[in-house]
Amino acid sequence: MSKNIDLTQAGIEVKKSACYFCHQNCGVLAYVKDGKVLKIEGDPEFPTNHGGLCCRGNIALQHLDHPARINYPLKRVGKRGEGKWEQIPWAQAMEEIGTKLLQIRSEFGAEAVATAGGTQRTDDWSRRRFMNLFGSPNGFHNSHLCWIPTFMVETAIYGWCPFELDMGSSRCLILWGQNPGAAGMPEMHHIRELQEKGMKLIVIDPRFSETAAKADLWLPLRPGSDLALALAWIHVIIYEGLFDQEFVANCCEGFGELADHVENFTPEWAAELTWLTPEQIRAGAYMYAMNKPGNIQWGTSVDQIGRPAGSTMHARAILRALTGNLDAPGSDLLTGPSPDFLTDEEMEANDQLPEEQKSKQIGSDRFKLVTWPGYSKIAEQTRKVWGKAPTAEWMCEAHPPSVFRAILSGKPYQVKALLVSATNPINSYGETKLVLDALKAVDFMVTCDYWMTPTAALSDYVIPIAGALERPTITSSYGCSDFLLASQRAIPPMYERRNDYNFWRDLGCAMGQQEMWPWATVEEAYYAKIAPLGYDIENYDEFVERYRFHFPEREYFKYQRQGFATPSGKVELYSTVLKDLGYPPLPPYIGPTENEIDDPELAREFPLVLTTGGGFMPYHHSEHFQIKEVRFLRHEPYMDINPATAAELSIEDGDWVWIETKRGRIKQKANLTQGIHPRVIYTQRGWWYPERSMAAPELGGCLESNTNVLTTTADDHCDPYSGSWANRGLLCRVYKLNASDMEGK
Ligand SMILES: Nc1nc2c(c(=O)[nH]1)N[C@H]1C(S)=C(S)[C@@H](COP(=O)(O)OP(=O)(O)OC[C@H]3O[C@@H](n4cnc5c(=O)[nH]c(N)nc54)[C@H](O)[C@@H]3O)O[C@H]1N2
Ligand SMILES: Nc1nc2c(c(=O)[nH]1)N[C@H]1C(S)=C(S)[C@@H](COP(=O)(O)OP(=O)(O)OC[C@H]3O[C@@H](n4cnc5c(=O)[nH]c(N)nc54)[C@H](O)[C@@H]3O)O[C@H]1N2
Ligand code: SF4
Ligand SMILES: [Mo]
């Protein structure tokens, strides 16, 4: 917008909004006249994107009033999945849904109602609040695949999880299964600047990803074998004397036991398991341990490797501690939850959920870390030191695959209703056929979304949700970081769309929860959240306009003053929290969820190693497939295969191929690339075809190219600590489509 025009005189307001199409939440300026957004652009003053927006951020206006958006509450009138809907008023929808949920509660108990969520996109503390007041412990997300297990393992070991890296003076950054080159562009820009100042970059990724291409050291390991690498690094750092002797002596418990434990985990031992050479393994350990301070950035991969995930997180956490890269300038910071504003946990009303109901949380008998048993233990420690607990929504959840199984089997008890908000489980949860069966079988389902997704299409009610430009946002990692960034609505919600907050509040009020929902709007709730900051402001919008951010003063080495939030007050290399929960106190070696060494017979049938997902441009999970400006950029699904492997299988570049695991098969097109090991296959995630019929059984072609048909959620494939399931490090086979398969292609 030209700087020469007097915007006020022209009747144009500039609103400080944010993009919500990925976690980066880039700052957006929205130019609004007469209630209409005329134009958007990146906010040049925003600290992360500095005015830039990616191809998704740039289509916010097309998203706002896209013809396929759901604008009014829809009530099913035909059979489930038939695609026949009646438009009803918002209040009627809340009334009817509320009545049904109360009926279910009186007949089957509150625990018969579950909620499913996705990655962090909304004010999920309000969902938790609703569930606590209703009395059900069975809320869950697929964030089991996305940092939550990492957070809880690390918090068990050193009392918080460093999700804030102090990279400014870092000399070495490890991106462990992380690819900001495609999944976090603003962060990638920052990393490139730091590399220019001399920071070394290590990338651990089986693919020669956008980020691996910029690394000083690229470690292309076998998918799912991260644990062997981490254990071998611990071995090298201890036995070659590279550890920080002072930090270990003063701040860590269990070093002697750890040294004994890793004695045989040599680089030579790990080489066979990781497909790296002992020299590559040593080079990584040397680079990290000898270039201090350094960081290990979290990436989703380790949360997604299933069975060895928890142990891998433990081993990775130990690496930070051994090198003293914790809470020191330039290293990984233990910030704790904000003491200055109300965290999400303080908005959740967790004290309203009776103990008896907590004990019914599905999966908490087996997967203890991210359910009430582990959460309570960890929250008790963090409260002592930080004065606050981690967010319970996300960190304390029912085990999703077990809830889907409960719907189908009635065990441990019947689950009758599922409230789905901000997720498309058919595409993004594991083992799609299980999810699909459960969604078809559940008695009552409500979905809150922008679009008629395959999941929404199977629902009894679909609730229209307001998008990024229609809602205020507070960005604060899973509701428990020490900083916040605040943005405002550009315009009020269009049509009968509402924010997710209003859905949970209005539903709660329709069921008698009025007294517990004092804030009529999200802005009022946010104002309550930030009021303790003590700014001279009258309302939330004023905070956004005048301040927009709250970044506390950095304080390093806080543990010297307050200790670590663990039972001993030290970093527990030997973890008593894990031990008390029945898990190994030191990280045992566990092979990839499916692998050629433990199961050679399976490997004969499925000789290739599969890794699924990894964010890729232009999509965000299963979103944006209906927006032509985005779809145009990549209109068909692709899997990566090495040309040598493709030649053996007579596959040419661009051929449609089947990718098959024990769970099922899907079609994607072959992308022949040297950037992947000859024994590894990488599939794209998220794919469905909104242009096809959304009625069952087609449901937008949701099984055809959907990589989660291939993944596994069997109990013994899940991480025993957290229950996260396996998307990476599986066994598969690949073959060309035959003539009859090609119909319609
Ligand atoms: N195989 C495999 N599976 C994976 C992954 C992988 O790498 N491989 N990655 C995992 C990861 S890291 C994550 S985070 C999850 C993501 O999983 P999900 O978050 O479930 O992602 P989506 O499938 O895109 O579903 C999100 C839905 O929410 C809607 N939506 C967006 N914003 C809002 C909002 O504000 N309110 C409401 N009510 N709806 C909204 C979108 O339209 C979309 O339909 O997937 C996981 N699944
Ligand atoms: N474009 C785009 N950006 C996104 C998203 C998106 O869907 N699309 N999703 C957002 C979300 S919710 C999240 S959580 C972040 C996640 O972003 P990241 O943490 O970067 O994780 P991914 O992109 O899932 O995977 C990163 C890399 O892991 C590699 N990898 C695969 N298997 C393994 C393995 O077994 N071990 C190791 N070490 N590496 C492996 C993949 O090749 C990939 O390059 O991205 C966010 N940004
Ligand atoms: S989708 Fe693009 S513009 Fe939007 S927050 Fe993510 S990186 Fe920023
Ligand atoms: Mo994620």
The DSSP 8-state label assigned to residue 300 in this structure reads G
**Token digits for 308?**
């060895």
pLDDT digits over 83-120, tens only?
999 999 999 999 999 999 999 999 999 999 999 999 88
Task: Give the distance (Å) from ligand 1 centre to CA of residue 120.
Answer: 8
CB-based contact 172:178 (threshold 8 Å): no
Provide the pLDDT confidence category of residue 495 given band limits of 50, 70 and 90.
very high
Q: pLDDT (tens digit, 9 = 90+) per residue, 181-208?
A: 999 888 899 999 999 999 999 999 999 9
Whole-angstrom distance, CA of residue 659 vs CA of residue 389: 43
The DSSP result for 208-221, as a single string, is --TTGGG-SEEE-P
Q: Which of 19, 119, 477 to mutate to test the pocket of ligand 1 (most atoms within 8 A of CB)?
A: 119
Confidence of residue 745 (pLDDT cuts 50, 70, 90): low
Q: Are 130 and 504 in contact (CB under 8 A)?
A: yes
State pLDDT tens for residues 236-282.
999 999 999 999 999 999 999 999 999 999 999 999 999 999 999 99
User: CB of 617 within 8 A of CB of 182?
Assistant: yes
- CA-nearest of 195, 201, 147, 194 to 174 is 201
Q: How far is the CA of 148 from the centre of ligand 4 (A)?
A: 10
Residue 510 tokens, joined:
């329709």
Q: Whose CA is nearest to atom 2 of ligand 1?
A: 613
- How many beta carbons lie within 10 A of that of residue 219, not counting itself? 22
Could you tell me the distance, in angstroms and rounded to a whole number, from the CA of residue 194 to the centre of ligand 3?
Answer: 21
Q: How far apart are CA 170 and CA 189, in angstroms?
A: 15
Query: pLDDT for 289-343, tens place per residue?
Result: 999 999 999 899 999 999 999 999 999 999 999 999 999 999 999 999 999 999 9
* Predicted structure pTM score: 0.97
How many whole angstroms from 94 Cα to the centroid of ligand 2?
A: 37
Looking at the CA of residue 613, tell me the nearest atom of ligand 2: 24
**Distance between Cα 241 and ligand 1 center (Å):** 44
Structure confidence at residue 75 as a pLDDT band (50, 70, 90) = very high
Q: Is any atom of ligand 3 closer than 6 Å to the C-beta of 590?
A: no
pLDDT tens, 506-552? Answer: 999 999 999 999 999 999 999 999 999 999 999 999 999 999 999 99
CA 658 to chain centre: 28
Tell whether the model's pLDDT for residue 681 goes beyond 80: yes
Specify the pLDDT at position 744.
Answer: 54
Please say if the pLDDT value at position 635 is more than 90.
yes
Burial 237-265 (b: 16+ CB within 10 A, else e): bbeeebbbeebbeebbbbbeebeebbeeb
Q: What strands lie across the sheet with 217-219, from one edge to the other? A: 217-219, 200-204, 172-176, 294-297
pLDDT band at 743 (very low <50, low <70, confident <90, very high): low
Please give the number of the atom of ligand 2 that sits closest to the Cα of 616: 1
Cβ within 8 Å of residue 371, ≥6 positions away: 361, 363, 364, 396, 397, 398, 399, 723
Helix (H) or strand (E) holding 23: none
Is the bond into 697 cis (omega within 30 degrees of 0)?
A: yes
Task: State how far the Cα of 298 lies from the Cα of 178, in Å rounded to an integer.
Answer: 7
Mean pLDDT of the chain: 96
Q: H helices then E strands: how many in the chain? A: 28, 27
Locus of tokens 């080495």: 557
Closest listed ligand to the CA of 215? 2
